[in-house]
Amino acid sequence: MADSSQFNETNEESKERFLAGLQKAFVNIKEKMNSEYPLTIYYAFKQSESEEDSTGGVVYSSTGWETMLQGLMNAGF
């Protein structure tokens, strides 16, 4: 995920900029790829967020993966 302090922006603005960049990259890949060959995308993201659920347990989620997948879907994959 993009560092919000680097561009003096909120976390939401940082996420939107990161998503727009991923989406642009994926659109470019889709336009130039040969449909006769498989596409493999490697994406490493290990930061996660945690929050307490209604039972008092901790739920972990990775917003980086969610953002990457959203970028793929927005690009038409």
- pTM more than 0.85: no
What is the pLDDT at residue 73? Answer: 93
Cα separation of 18 and 3, whole Å? 9
Residue 5 lies in a domain: no
pLDDT in the model for residue 42: 87
Q: How far apart are CA 47 and CA 56, in angstroms?
A: 22
Residue 17 lies in a domain: yes
Q: What is the 3-state secondary structure (H, E, C) of 2-38?
A: CCCCCCCCCHHHHHHHHHHHHHHHHHHHHHHCCCCCC
**Total domains present in the chain:** 1
Q: The domain containing residue 67 runs over which residues? A: 11-74
Going residue by residue through the chain (77 aa), what tens digit of pLDDT does each one get? 555 566 778 878 888 888 899 999 999 999 999 989 999 988 887 666 666 777 877 766 666 788 888 999 999 98
Q: Is residue 2 part of a domain?
A: no
Q: What is the pLDDT of residue 59?
A: 67
pLDDT at residue 27 in the model: 96
